[in-house]
Amino acid sequence: MGSLNTLTVRQAVDHLEQGACSSEELVRDLLSARTALDGTIQGYLQMDGERALAEARHADADRKKGRRGRLLGVPLAVKDILNVTGQACRCGSRILDGYTAPYDATAIARLRAEGAIFVGRTNMDEFGMGSSTENSAFGPTRNPWNSACVPGGSSGGSAAVVAADMALAALGSDTGGSVRQPAAFCGCTGLKPSYGRVSRYGLVAYASSLDQIGPLTKDVDDAALLLGVMAGPDPRDSSSVEALVEDYAAACGSDLKGMKLGLPRDYFVKGLEPAVEAAIRAAIERCRELGAEVVEVSLPHTSVAIPTYYIVATAEASANLARFDGVRYGFRAEGAEDVLEVYAKTRAQGFGPEVKRRIILGTYVLSGGYHDAYYVRAQKVRTLIRRDFEDAFKTCDAILAPVAPTAAYRLGEKMADPLQMYLGDIFTVPASLAGICGLSVPCGFTPAGLPVGLQVLGPAFGESRVLRVGSAYQKSTDWHRRRPALAAEGGR
């Protein structure tokens, strides 16, 4: 294995521009890294190696002809929930066995227009439902820092392959923290854009009012680059917003002078692991040293964010997943005598237990007699959570907080107790409910050697603010440059 797989996206672009390597060499190094490491990590579900190599050779030829693109010849990994023409898109589920995407998601199309190559599809919790990537129908992904631990979820495969240098960067999706939490658990950078910033067209829906596509990268500069390519309105997605797409790369600075950062007292509560809190507070002090003023803010409805999220998300999932019935595409159960039995058998055999649990819960909260008591009330509380953030951002530019109350836990530790796993999302779901942007950056390690993530939250369409904070912090620390021994030793 060479060393090209350890590059950031920006470094790869520079190498390609300067002729220090070819796109084909870059792809081959990543394929070699996957061969060496993924037997342990299990971060990829599928590699499109031959096609990636062919596209790399084409990119190299285009470069010689003078063609340019911000990502020309750069290989990326994609979470198995985004449609890429000609690739299987199974969402970590058996119910989509046999489905091949006939089109590119808008985010994919925009990256492809700049020359990006999509080298493989990453593992995930089935339909994005989970926080550990243990709910995949194809087996769990393991954390590169400790293979006995989870990588987080649901974008755990994307985070793991980036952390293990099996990808320069990867796309994920964040519904309640599914980019930020695995980024924190695996020691990489994860960005959840504001709702409406990136088109959801071609993203298989879990919860339509919450889902958002975001990058997992080796540093903040790469996240800014990828966001700048993907962002912007899309006529095929009515939830995308006509908001100015800023120069996110220019927003990445090296100091925080003049910025006021909020510290939410409601996030530093009982249950926050001491080693995690210590790393977060050290990161806050570093931000002070970089020139920021830190002020206390209140987000009083944080304590009700989890039940609110799991009512809203499961209700929307119940409606969205009704389309998977064995009739039009994907898996179809055998032995059914009529169409209703096709539906029942296909869904019973095709969906995993966590998906079934959430469909049942969502159907219940939408049912007659319970719709007002649960779903309508949850939407009202969601409004209160959004107002909490609006009030907080009147007194600060961005908010600093933990990503999760703990570092990565052991495989199987929480599978028997879904409620405990749900509670692990307490610091990520409020931002998702409010539709604001959030960034996770590495800020330290526990005594057991597991990464800790600092969460930077900004107002809706305030990505430049969170990128500035994250970039300045990273330029003054080296946490994001550290790599797991597994990757350094070539998977031995």
- Residue numbers annotated as active site: 79, 154, 178
CB 30 within 8 A of CB 1: no
Which residue has 């039995």 as its token pair? 341
83 sits in the region (left: phi over 0; alpha: psi -120 to 50; else beta) called beta
Dihedral sign (CA 417, 139, 354, 312)? positive
- Pinpoint the alpha helices (H) of 74-193: 106-113, 156-163, 180-186
Place of tokens 């959840």: 192
20, two tokens: 């220090």
* Torsion angle, alpha carbons of 209, 215, 221, 222, to 10: -150
CB 373 within 8 A of CB 432: no
The Cα 426–Cα 430 span in angstroms is 7
Short-list 179, 180, 58, 33, CA closest to 116: 58
- Distance (Å, whole) CA 488 – CA 492: 9
Contacts of 8 (CB under 8 A, 6+ apart): 168, 169, 217, 218, 219, 221, 222
Nearest Cα neighbor of 2 from 15, 14, 359 is 15
Could you identify the residue written with the tokens 């003054």? 476
Residue 131 DSSP one-character state: S
User: Exposed, middle or buried by CB within 10 Å (0-12, 13-18, 19+), for 458?
Assistant: buried
Contact 134, 415 (CB under 8 A): yes
**Is the preceding peptide bond at 208 cis, omega within 30 degrees of 0?**
no
The pair of three-digit structure tokens given for residue 484, joined into one six-digit string: 């797991």
How are strands ordered across the β-sheet holding 189-192? 44-47, 117-122, 75-79, 170-174, 212-217, 189-192, 437-445, 451-458, 398-402, 260-264, 293-297
The Cα 85–Cα 105 span in angstroms is 8
Count the alpha carbons within 13 Å of 27 in the hemisphere toward its beta carbon: 27
How far is the C-alpha of 193 from the C-alpha of 396, rounded, in Å? 19
Q: Helix, strand or coil for residue 293?
A: strand
Pairing of the two strands 212-217 and 451-458: unpaired
